[in-house]
Structure 1
Amino acid sequence: MAPSSKQVDTKLSRSALVALVVGSMVGSGIFALPASFGHATGVLGTLIAWGIAGTGMLMLAFVFQALSRRRPDLDAGIYAYAKAGFGEYIGFASAAGYWIGCCIADVACLILIKATIGQFFPIFGDGTTPVAIASASLLLWCVHFLVLRGIREAATLNTVATYAKIIPILLFIGVAFIVLDPDLISRNFWGTEQPGVAAISSQVRSTMLLTVFAFVGIEGASVYSRYARDRSDIGFATVTGFLSVLCLLVLVTLLSYGVLPRQELAGLSTPSMAGVMEAMVGHWGAIFISVALLISILGNYLSWSLLAAEVLHSAAINRTMPLFLARVNEHEVPAGALWLTNCVIQAFVLVTWFAEYAFTLALKMTSAMTLIPYFLVAAYGLKLSYLGESYHAGERARAVDGIRSAVATVYAMGMIYAGGATFLLLSSILYVPGTLLFLLARRERKEAVFKPFEAIIFTALALAACTGVYALATGAISI
């Protein structure tokens, strides 16, 4: 069926796709980096952590770029690659895991917005007080109805918000360069009084999920590939957006060690970048960064809302999700997917009332939920290059893509291991009930729910979920 004129109007330019990537990645995480890294490690550990994360995620960016060229027929991004490579249920799990991760990321944004306001109005507390939860719910539904008015309008607003939040970060970096104290960098170098390989290794591992969260959103252009005016823009936007954000993340983290001792960095309240800015220029700096943070998170929240609804909608179009999630409104917005997404976010917001460290939990759960989809994308890129599908005989790019995919696959596996068993168990608790959507989709198609191999995978997930529920009930793990 030929696209309607309304559909043509929804196409996104290269700059809009770059803004989607940058807007998705630059959010709450970067403003919390000084304290997060100060608590975990010193300058050396930071350099190693960003070196590992930067290399791994750059390879993943190259995988997304290669897949957009090799499989232009797959226009549903992160979900479509998992399905094409490993079957229906694995594809569903990738879509569901990524979608839930997006929902939790939005919850993290809402918590941090209210926690930032709470620095000036104590009634909002740490973002989980009754007033904070009520106001977060109000904001959630306001954005919901904004997005219902049109994807292009929401993407344009996201582009404006992206530029608005990058400028204060660049100002922070510029001021930090001016006041940088080389002696402080030297004293913060090891991050421990007893330097050694074991100590540095432990420090680096404790930062791994933090670095993953900082990069989540790298797939923004890929998820929205069906809206791209030109398929080549997808790979360009992914790599350009990633490299731009990597520079910002590394500079913000390292320069902070030249402003305050590590112990003081670790003790800063969220958003810790505001505390560093206050140390450099006075109290107005903290207010300035706090305002920038609110703009940043609002833009980030909008990006995640768009991504979450889009991945559900794309999966529904391909009949891996129930058909009601494929429904669009008169503005070509995936309304069914958006309603379900925001209902789930609302439920998670209410659960934050019971979480002791809600923001940290949301941050790490977002990383844990998105690592599996990342792993599947990297593994599909590796499979494609290994089998030679879509490559010409003797094509040099096949070996290059194979190496990049292998590094990305190993990196994703390493990050899953670094996250530990706790987050795998908590993730399985979310995956299992989510499988109800897969059951509904299969019933609509009048097909058996699972193939034999898929039944084994679901059984393993169910056992992990039961173990996780038992561990929560007995206090072995807590939220």
Structure 2
Amino acid sequence: MPDQPAVPTSTQYPTTQKLGLLTMTAMVVGGMVGAGVFSLPARFGQETGVAGALIAWAIAGTGMLMLAFVFQILAIRKPELDSGVYAYAKSGFGEYLGFFSAFGYWASSCVGNVTYWVLIMSTLSALFPELGDGNTVLAIALSTVGIWAFYWLIKRGTKDAAALNQIVTVAKVVPILVFIVLALFYLDVGVFMDNWSGENYDSLFEQVKGTMLVTVFVFIGVEGASVYSRHAKRREDVGRATVLGFLMVFSIFASVTVVSYGILPAEEMAELRQPSMAGVLEAAVGDWGKAFISIGLIVSVLGAYLAWTLMAAEVLFVAAEDDDMPRFLKSISDVDVPVPALLMTTALIQVMLVVTAFSDDAFNLALNLTSALTLIPYLLAAAYALKLAITRETYDASPAGWRRELTIAFIATAYTAFLLWAAGPKYLLVSMIIYAPASLLFVKARSEQGRRWFDARELLILAFSVITAAIGIVALATGRISL
């Protein structure tokens, strides 16, 4: 067997459960509308005023729209590649970076899912103070029950889970839209203008830079249709669902942020307990507003948890099908569910949930770490689209749109590279602590195939990941960085 086999062009999957445009758009919206939107007022209040927020959303909106277009382009240019984020990295840059992309995307999904349970328990602590900030012993115990209940639900079949996600997506968007309308009605122009310049913050550039990780977090899921592409009824629906879902969610997120500046001074927003959207509406309409948003949050994050658990298991399964993960992960049930991959996903969520007990700010730790873990897979996908355009692969046979797609891929690549820089070294180092040990899975997969573990180029990548992980561990141990 050759040491570097070609990327598989197709795989035989069960085809009994196919998803249409509406359902796949709901998967995208369901993946993005989760915990992040309910945290936006405080997160932006901590970093910037109205002017900085508008610039930040313009940058994030443009960058993420280009990334959405990248997934649309790749779905059309490379229709044979399933589980987009992982498959694009592998096809463009080799098996090992493809493996890293699959693992990083999967790990980010699991860490992101922890934020949902932390936020649910923090919300319920208004009624049950024993739940604290969502990471007390009782909160972790109750969250554990929820984690394994969802495991049972998804194990029953992807069709039932996807249908439920479509219903929940509608249910969770409604309270957010009500928040926007009520905030507009109660908006105080004087308060809004006082929040305009952000005079009490750092420079405008630093204000915008400070919002970058939270904008990444709220937009994670833009690739949802691409990740679940093997279930699409029509391949073109993958790209359509991606762009349509993004535009819907972008308008919601930007609106939630901007109207909040007309209710409370930014300094007060910054001090709000999460979910800060509830505190903003409480200031506008009273106690019932807090209760209304709290209920909406619980529905929202449960729906997002469902969507993300589905996508995380899907990535592991397809990576195993392509022999880049150990064989036990390629097992699939008679209802089209990759049960071992689902079990491994649920187990990591459980482990990371326990880790939050040792953090002073469990929600923000999980949010920022999720964003940092996701950036590497996003960067590789954007770079692959740029590579296709530069080398003109697929464009000789279908040259239409080459200049436009080259521009889109360049902007998307530059944007994701900028986000890695904006995140700073702390989260890159912590991410590598998670990435580096994952190579053991890659070694196991290669061993099962009787192949050499690493070639020369892969050894360089391995060395980089191990060295940066070691630096991260030393930095944590010495207190140079903290969780």
For the criterion TM > 0.5, the same-fold answer is: yes
Counterpart position of 2:3: none
Could you tell me how far 1:2 is from its partner in structure 2? 10
Tell me: CA distance 1:159–1:199, structure 2 relative to 1, closer, same or farther (3 Å).
same
In structure 1, what is the equivalent of residue 7 of structure 2?
A: none
TM-score by length of 2: 0.96
1:472 to 473, 476, 482: 476
- Pair 459,193 (structure 1): closer, same or farther in 2 beyond 3 Å: closer
AA aligned opposite 1:415 = L
* Residue 226 (structure 1) aligned with residue 233 (structure 2): no
Is 1:398 the counterpart of 2:402? The answer is yes
Per-residue deviation, residues 68-127 of structure 1 (Å, max 9, x unmatched): 000001012110000000000000000000000000001111111111111211011111
Is the aligned partner of 1:158 residue 2:162?
A: no
Separation in 2, partners of 1:294, 1:163: 14
Displacement of 1:3 in angstroms is 6.8
Match of 1:365 in 2: 369
Find 2:277's aligned residue among 268, 273, 281.
273
> Aligned to 2:184, which of 170, 174, 177?
177
Aligned equivalent of 1:441: 445
Post-superposition Cα deviations, 1:264-308, rounded to whole Å, max 9, x if no partner, equal: 111211111111111121100100000000000100111111111
1:316 maps onto 2:336 in alignment? no
Tell me the equivalent position of 1:299: 303
Distance across 1 between alignment mates of 2:28 and 2:11: 29
Tell me what 1:71 maps to.
78
Secondary structure at the residue paired with 1:450? coil
d(CA) in 2 for partners of 1:454, 1:463: 14
Which residue type is aligned with residue 118 of structure 2?
I
The residue that corresponds to 1:250 in the other structure is: 254
Range moving further from structure 2, 117-126 or 93-102: 117-126
Distance in 1 between residues matched to 2:168 and 2:17, nearest whole Å: 19
The CA distance in 2 between the partners of 1:108 and 1:375, in whole Å, is 23
What's the counterpart of residue 260 of structure 1? 264
Match of residue 124 from structure 2: 117
Please give the per-residue CA displacement for 1:313-364, whole angstroms capped at 9, x wherever unaligned: 0101111111110101121100010111111111111111111111100000
Residues paired across the two proteins, number: 474
Tell me the alpha carbon deviations over residues 359-394 of structure 1, each in whole angstroms, 9 at most, x when there is no partner.
100000000000000000000000001111111379
Q: d(CA) in 2 for partners of 1:252 and 1:30?
A: 8
1:137 aligns with 2:141: no
SS for the counterpart of 1:158 is: helix
The equivalent of 1:39 in structure 2 is 46
Segments of 5+ residues of structure 1 without an aligned counterpart are: none
Residue 90 of structure 2 corresponds to residue 83 of structure 1: yes
Q: CA deviation at 1:9?
A: 2.9
SS at structure 2 position matched to 1:368: helix
In 1, Cα distance between the equivalents of 2:197 and 2:11? 61
Distance 1:181 1:288 in 2: 21
What do the CA deviations read for 1:226-256 (whole angstroms, capped 9, x no partner)? 0000001000000000010000000000000
- Give the C-alpha shift of residue 396 in structure 1: 4.2
Measured in 1, the distance between the counterparts of 2:83 and 2:350 equals 26
Give the counterpart letter for 2:179 in structure 1. Answer: F
Identify which range, 207-216 or 349-358, moves more after superposition: 349-358
Larger CA deviation: 235-244 vs 324-333: 324-333
Q: Taking structure 1 as reference, are residues 90 and 394 closer, same or farther at Cα in structure 2, changes over 3 Å only?
A: closer
Structure-1 separation of matches of 2:279 and 2:188: 17
Distance 1:88 1:8 in 2: 27
| Partner SS state of residue 303, structure 2 | helix
Once residues 91 and 12 of structure 2 are traced to their aligned partners in structure 1, the CA distance between those partners, rounded to angstroms, is 25
Structure-1 separation of matches of 2:279 and 2:363: 18
By how many angstroms is 1:457 displaced? 0.7
Whole-Å separation in 1 of the counterparts to 2:15 and 2:200? 61
Paired residue for 2:208? 204
- 3-state SS in 1 of match to 2:81: coil
Distance, in Å, in 2 between the alignment partners of 1:394 and 1:131 is 58
Counterpart CA distance in 2 for 1:173 and 1:405 is 33
**AA partner of residue 18 (structure 1):** T
CA distance in 1, matches of 2:45, 2:436: 36
Q: Percent identity?
A: 49
